[in-house]
Amino acid sequence: MISRKTFGRLPDGTSIDLITIRNAAGLELGATNYGCIIVSLAAPDAAGRAANVVLGYDRLEQYLESSPYFGALVGRYANRIANAAFEIDGRRHDLSRNDSANHVHGGFKGFDKHVWEAEVDADRSTVIFKRRSADGEEGYPGALDVEVRYVLGDRADLSMVCEAKTDAPTHVNLTQHSYFNLRGRGDVLSHQLTIHAAGYLPIDARLLPTGEVARVENTPFDFRKPSEIGTRLGSGHEQLKTAGGYDHSFILEPDGVAPAARAFDPVSGRSLELRTSEPGLQFYSGQVVGYRGFCLEPQHFPDSPNRPQFPSTLLRPGERYRTKTTYSFST
């Protein structure tokens, strides 16, 4: 099932669509061409009852007024860049400073606040979003052509595939910023989380990585076995005090692990498995929304443009950026 209807209008009168796709496994995606936002994602529980498992709004106006990146496609660079600047080939590029002196999630008008071209491939249960990010947008060099595909599989799985190419050297790091709540209501503190990572990146008071790579062993960052989110939050660890909860990048196992992470809600019986081609996973425990949802953001590491020891996010002309993440639901 595929449907397309008006979701609202921007102040300039531009009409924004809501595209809904449902597959035979009972997974239903609602996405809009404003910011490639996943507005809703309904999945069945152990009794076959469907519920929306992501946080979002009912009206476009609410996203325009204020949104903590609910369901957004984040870019041109997800996460933080220190001092809102980087150098490429000896030339400094200054970005917009929208996080104190730093840059976060693409700036004041990142990819989540733009209108995208949208088309539907009904045969492949796919919605395709495209846009050109102009040279100089939020300070980034190079015109970047981006395509984002949300694909419902034959089972209860959703894949996100992002591709991009540039006409000048630039940095690219895209992610999906959905807040998950597998119960569909209440908080997520009793959700059990597994992250296949033996290391994580400690952060400073600005929530930027210090450059150190720390082992998770014997810390509340060790999610290699299923662990209740709320119990870990109460550990009193200094890093959790710094961020007010989890807002840290985990280093995934080399060459990818299937899955990279798994979340389970014991009340509904729903589980979510995440597979990704990315080297890192940002776990955000949702403190800004009262722990009503958590984020698992597959991405490269924060501040990579200024950290040569981190995997590179530099894209040059003639190269193609590609990343794929799959979210699989089961009971």
Hey, which residues are catalytic here? 177, 297
Give burial (CB, 10 Å; 0-12/13-18/19+) of 304. Answer: buried
Cα distance between residue 107 and residue 238, in whole Å = 28
| Burial class of 258 by CB neighbour count within 10 A (0 to 12, 13 to 18, 19+) | exposed
**Which phi and psi (to 5°) does residue 127 adopt?**
-110, 135
C-alpha to C-alpha distance for 117 and 296, rounded to whole angstroms: 26
Give the number of residues written for the chain. Answer: 331
Q: How far is CA 309 from CA 21, 213, 276, 301, in A?
A: 41, 10, 21, 10
As a whole number of angstroms, the distance between CA 41 and CA 253 comes to 28
Dihedral of the alpha carbons of 168, 173, 177, 180, in degrees to the nearest 10: 150
Residue with tokens 């400094």: 92
Contact yes or no for 215/198 (Cβ under 8 A):
yes
Give the other-Cβ count within 10 Å of 114's Cβ.
Answer: 20
> Measured between alpha carbons, how far is 198 from 213 in angstroms, rounded to an integer?
10
DSSP 8-state class, residue 221: T
